[in-house]
Structure 1
Amino acid sequence: MRSPLAAPPCAPDAEPGPDLDSATIPHLIGLMAAGTLDPVDLTRAYLRRIETVDRHVRSVLAVNGDALREAAGSARRWAAGRPLGALDGIPVLLKDNIDTVGTGATAGSRALVVPPTDDAELVRLLRAAGAVVLGKTNMSEWGNFRSPWATSGWSGVGGQTNNPHVLDHNPCGSSSGSAAAVAASLAQVSVGTETDASILSPAGHCGIVGFKPTLGRISGDGIVPISSWQDTAGPMARHVVDAAILMSVLEGRGVDYAAALVPDPLPGARVGVWRRAGFHAEVDRVVESSVDVLRRAGAEVVDVELPHLDRITAAEFPALVSEFKHDLEAYLRTRPGAPRTVRELIAFTEADPAEPAGFGQERFFEAEKAPPITDPAYREQRRTATALARAAIDDVLAAHRLDVVMAPTNAPAWRTGPDGDPAGLGSSRPSAVAGYPSATVPAGFAGPLPLGVSFTAGHGADALVLRFAAAFERAAPVRRAPGYLPTLP
């Protein structure tokens, strides 16, 4: 069964121009430098796709009314030969937990409908680089930290975001809108955030590239938090080179991650494979085909297991609950007109008619009663979780003399339903809790549903992880544009 939208990726664009699905940032910048692409035309093409395609995907919460004006400013800079950098004129979407003057930051909740008074630090960096802020993307309300029974991709502000590959299936993760929008070519790149899997998992489920950097590489200023001990923003893109360019801007320290994508690291590399075998036959098949890709490219592959998962999970969650209360209440004090405490958020949600009856506020109730971050029990939980997660990665890398560890990112997306998310396959927890870099890249399909593999390494190895992701992408170019199927055949 095919949808009318399953035409060539740029079919909704009435005017000729670059194929948005396949175009990379370097290609678009080259056209702008040559004077054959006007940033206004590029922005207008993406705005048309939002208007025509997003009625099915429901990933964009708000469009920036100044986007065309920003693009016109970029056009003037290019005409004068004075572009601001590698993102000048490139349309970007932002997850709606990132403070943005004019388009707000709701974290999916109607409790935060009064806009922030300042841009987040990463938004200032994007604007300084000339990026065109297209608007904000839907997300799982409060980063999916309100109820264990909530459905990924749903928020009280934006409703339910759909997976563009199969529309009645889930995009997964709290950065669901950022992933689905990029997969559907509604922006060149987007910015997501992750506490545990919220960049990697939706990127894998939607068939795009997602990069979670080393904790602290990107400023968390002006981002609605869950935990400053794990939260990070990160790039989401259709191509690794675009993720690398966006990462350079978001970090703001002058590192050129795109230049670090070469030379090819696979010949002679040692790659650990954490197979997570037995969860899903199609995942096992794609992991095996990915291993074949690595071997054909000259890498030596070693099967590994990452230890301590049960103990990491047991310590991580109660630590996050305490951190959520502390960090969120500190953030709420910066937002005019917002509730000030978790208790006030609970009262707001109970009185809000837009909230669903199908799930509640169990996580908020736990956070309200959580011990403070000065509590010795909390401190031991955080110390244990972080130390074990770092050991799980560091010890395996050292014991087998590995460059990186590869693992499946996701199982096929599930059909969206009213009963929350099913238990899923994941490999993100060690890197998330450790604060280490990890990148997911498309690796195959289960029918029409995308599957990804992730590359993870130690603290500060961001450029290395992106280099391996880019090498795998070149060796196995399996990504394809979504088909917008209404349901599985």
Structure 2
Amino acid sequence: MTLEFPSNNQVVGVGQPLPDLLYATIDDLQLGLAAGTFTSVDLVKAYLARINEVNSVLHAVIETNPDAISIAASLDTERAGGSTRGKLHGIPICIKDNIATLDKMNNTAGSFALLGAIPPSDSTIAAKLKAAGAVIIGKCNLSQWANYRSSNSTNGWTSRGGQTMGAYYPMQDPSGSSSGPGVVSSLGLAAAAVGTETSGSIISPSSRNSLTGIKPSVGLASRYLIVPISQTQDTPGPMTRTMVDAAYILSIIAGQDPYDNYTSAIPFETIPDYAAECNSEGLRSAKIGIPRNAITVSSTNGPEITAFNASISVFKQLGATIVDNADFPDLAGYMNFSGGSYTTDPVVGADFVVDVANYFNEMTTNPHNIKSIQDLINFTETYAPEDYPDRNIATWLNAASLNVTMGDANYYAALLEQYYYGSNATILGALEKYDLDALIIPSSMSPGYAAIAGYPIVTVPLGYYPASTNVTYNSRGTLVSLGPNFPFGLSFYGRRFSEASLVKYACAFESATNYRQLKNPYIIPNIQLIDVM
């Protein structure tokens, strides 16, 4: 085979380009698969080799699927017979280790408490991904229990998987809780990844790993057999290198599910083709607001603010009308609202007490016979690998001691209050008052408002901290919390179930800027398709 290495980071063989897996999109991979240039088996082998190459440093993958190659081979056979299932046919992806699969992989939220537990079936979204032809090659590491355990742990740490680190600076805090999916997708350790969010867990690691990410409206995608925190706030979503790839995945995982009654609120019968309107014209005639009173300037976030302000001219050039100072109407009320932090929110705490018990009790095999939050507390306090008491269980203790029970009057009063502060007081209030299609805000400031009312967020890359940035460490001294080349993003807010519009706007902005391509990670796997073919 004659090889050449052209300037566009592609390796050419057998007359067709082999895409560089650091950059490859789902469409790139489908072109190669359709042309017979490579197979799904080749892709799986290449991605598994890339994981093996860097995982000892970054700890982004908690385990890989021992059946991935045989699954890919069966999908190659389908393709050879003239049948494909769509955009994800034969595409290797990695999912967060709180999304259950009924196969040879575990689903543990990073804890030994769930190691060996067997669910009654695939989670709904895993089943949808498999039915669409995706090859789930592994489970991504995360912040343990999706960051709902400790007040003194670190983003990306689990007892099972160790400490995930970002790839843009040595010892980079990857953000959380979908830390592993962020690193996996950014480095091309899989074609794409799926994470989950309660408050910030898709948007923040997507932003910190220079990715696009979609935190869907609560209820757009089923949470059945995803290790829960809160049924009022949890939602799964894609974390990818391009907006189109995220849109492909969202169209597959979205939809009603009888096992998740929140999905009955979906206001349309047919799930949109979210990628259909991804083009450079998507912002033309859009009316976009900026909630200035929610944008805070600190001693360290200057580069983000500067880049955000500079982006306004891009929106205008793309045909959008910008309404500056489209402020949240009751930001002061939100700031005084005691339920804004999901680790102390009484609604989230009451949800967790019930929802985590229900999850354990649905397992067909429950090795440690955990049936309640108290059982989980007892296990964690006595099982040394869980790193207690060095990493505490303060969040669980708070939830277990609440004077609020799911379904009682105090619960519903608190729920109504948080819905108000996440909608009319903030996002929805600004959208309605100024007659807007969407809002934009730096991604580092976006999650909390949308979390408590179940509103969607879409984030896209916006830039990187300069090389002169001072290195600062987390409280444990184990991660760099801010440093040179750290990525950051821009977020779009919209009304519930307005993802089609938000994706359209984000696609246009991404197409005009392509900020992800400005900097590469400091550590990049060397393995490419040619090495396994």
Matches within 5 A, 1:221-300: 221-252=224-255, 254-262=271-279, 264-275=281-292, 276-279=295-298, 280-300=301-321
Alignment match, 1:91: 92
SS of 2:423 mapped into structure 1: helix
The letter for the 2-side match of 1:178 is: P
Deviations 1:373-413 (A, max 9, x none): 13222221111001221112122112112111011012xxx
The letter for the 1-side match of 2:111 is: S
Q: Aligned-pair distance for 1:431?
A: 1.5
Gaps of at least 5 residues in structure 2 are: 1-7, 12-16, 256-269, 467-484, 525-533
Alignment match, 1:334: 362
Alignment match, 1:323: 351
CA distance in 2, matches of 1:122, 1:322: 25
Q: Aligned-pair distance for 1:18?
A: 1.3
CA distance in 2, matches of 1:188, 1:475: 23
Q: Aligned-pair distance for 1:354?
A: 1.5
CA distance in 2, matches of 1:440, 1:170: 19
Between 426-435 and 157-166, report the one with greater CA deviation. 426-435
Q: Aligned-pair distance for 1:263?
A: 6.8
Q: Aligned-pair distance for 1:34?
A: 2.1
Compared CA separation, residues 193 and 142, structure 1 to 2 (3 A): same
Q: Aligned-pair distance for 1:89?
A: 0.6
State whether residues 461 and 487 of structure 2, in contact with CA within 8 Å, keep that contact through their aligned partners in structure 1.
yes
Alignment match, 2:189: 186
Compared CA separation, residues 313 and 180, structure 1 to 2 (3 A): farther
SS of 1:261 mapped into structure 2: coil
State whether residues 187 and 521 of structure 2, in contact with CA within 8 Å, keep that contact through their aligned partners in structure 1.
no
State whether residues 138 and 176 of structure 1, in contact with CA within 8 Å, keep that contact through their aligned partners in structure 2.
yes
CA distance in 1, matches of 2:272, 2:67: 29
Alignment match, 2:154: 151
Alignment match, 1:305: 327
Alignment match, 1:420: none
Between 82-91 and 287-296, report the one with greater CA deviation. 287-296
SS of 2:452 mapped into structure 1: helix
CA distance in 2, matches of 1:452, 1:477: 12
The letter for the 2-side match of 1:320 is: V
State whether residues 459 and 506 of structure 2, in contact with CA within 8 Å, keep that contact through their aligned partners in structure 1.
yes
CA distance in 2, matches of 1:215, 1:261: 23
The letter for the 2-side match of 1:184 is: L
Alignment match, 2:450: 431
Alignment match, 1:116: 118
CA distance in 2, matches of 1:19, 1:216: 36
State whether residues 282 and 507 of structure 2, in contact with CA within 8 Å, keep that contact through their aligned partners in structure 1.
no
Determine whether 1:365 maps to 2:382: no
The letter for the 2-side match of 1:309 is: Y
Structure 1 segments, 4+ long, off by >4 Å, are 8-11
Q: How many residues align?
A: 461
Q: Aligned-pair distance for 1:314?
A: 2.9
SS of 2:362 mapped into structure 1: coil
SS of 1:78 mapped into structure 2: helix
Compared CA separation, residues 461 and 438, structure 1 to 2 (3 A): same
SS of 1:135 mapped into structure 2: strand
Q: Aligned-pair distance for 1:9?
A: 8.3
Determine whether 1:61 maps to 2:82: no
SS of 2:18 mapped into structure 1: coil
Q: Aligned-pair distance for 1:355?
A: 2.7
Q: Aligned-pair distance for 1:302?
A: 1.8
Alignment match, 1:442: 461
CA distance in 2, matches of 1:402, 1:313: 28
SS of 2:95 mapped into structure 1: strand
Gaps of at least 5 residues in structure 1 are: 1-7, 411-425
Q: Aligned-pair distance for 1:312?
A: 4.6
SS of 2:386 mapped into structure 1: coil
Determine whether 1:393 maps to 2:431: no
SS of 1:187 mapped into structure 2: coil
Alignment match, 2:382: 351
CA distance in 1, matches of 2:82, 2:291: 48
CA distance in 1, matches of 2:412, 2:20: 51
Deviations 1:133-156 (A, max 9, x none): 111001111111111222111111
Deviations 1:135-191 (A, max 9, x none): 100111111111122211111111110011113120111111111111111011111
State whether residues 40 and 75 of structure 2, in contact with CA within 8 Å, keep that contact through their aligned partners in structure 1.
yes
Deviations 1:30-84 (A, max 9, x none): 2222222311111111111101122221100000011111111111111111011
CA distance in 1, matches of 2:487, 2:303: 10
Q: Aligned-pair distance for 1:28?
A: 1.4
State whether residues 442 and 490 of structure 2, in contact with CA within 8 Å, keep that contact through their aligned partners in structure 1.
yes
Matches within 5 A, 1:379-390: 379-390=412-423
Compared CA separation, residues 249 and 365, structure 1 to 2 (3 A): same
Alignment match, 1:205: 208
Q: Aligned-pair distance for 1:262?
A: 4.2
Alignment match, 1:415: none
Alignment match, 1:463: 500
Which of 382, 390, 405 is matched with 2:439 structurally? 405
SS of 1:479 mapped into structure 2: helix
SS of 2:462 mapped into structure 1: strand
Alignment match, 2:258: none
State whether residues 291 and 430 of structure 2, in contact with CA within 8 Å, keep that contact through their aligned partners in structure 1.
no
Q: Aligned-pair distance for 1:288?
A: 1.2
SS of 1:55 mapped into structure 2: helix
CA distance in 1, matches of 2:439, 2:168: 28
The letter for the 2-side match of 1:122 is: I
State whether residues 149 and 393 of structure 2, in contact with CA within 8 Å, keep that contact through their aligned partners in structure 1.
yes
State whether residues 227 and 320 of structure 1, in contact with CA within 8 Å, keep that contact through their aligned partners in structure 2.
yes
State whether residues 97 and 107 of structure 2, in contact with CA within 8 Å, keep that contact through their aligned partners in structure 1.
yes
SS of 2:491 mapped into structure 1: strand
Q: Aligned-pair distance for 1:445?
A: 0.6
Deviations 1:264-317 (A, max 9, x none): 232222211235141211111111122121122222222233324324553661
State whether residues 35 and 79 of structure 1, in contact with CA within 8 Å, keep that contact through their aligned partners in structure 2.
no
Report the TM-score when normalising by structure 2.
0.83
Between 36-45 and 441-450, report the one with greater CA deviation. 36-45
Compared CA separation, residues 59 and 346, structure 1 to 2 (3 A): same
CA distance in 2, matches of 1:262, 1:289: 22
CA RMSD of aligned residues (A): 2.0
CA distance in 1, matches of 2:516, 2:58: 19
Deviations 1:313-357 (A, max 9, x none): 536612111111111111111122241111111111111111334
CA distance in 1, matches of 2:338, 2:26: 38
CA distance in 1, matches of 2:192, 2:521: 19
Alignment match, 1:103: 105
Matches within 5 A, 1:4-15: none
Compared CA separation, residues 399 and 387, structure 1 to 2 (3 A): same
Compared CA separation, residues 160 and 10, structure 1 to 2 (3 A): farther
Alignment match, 1:134: 137
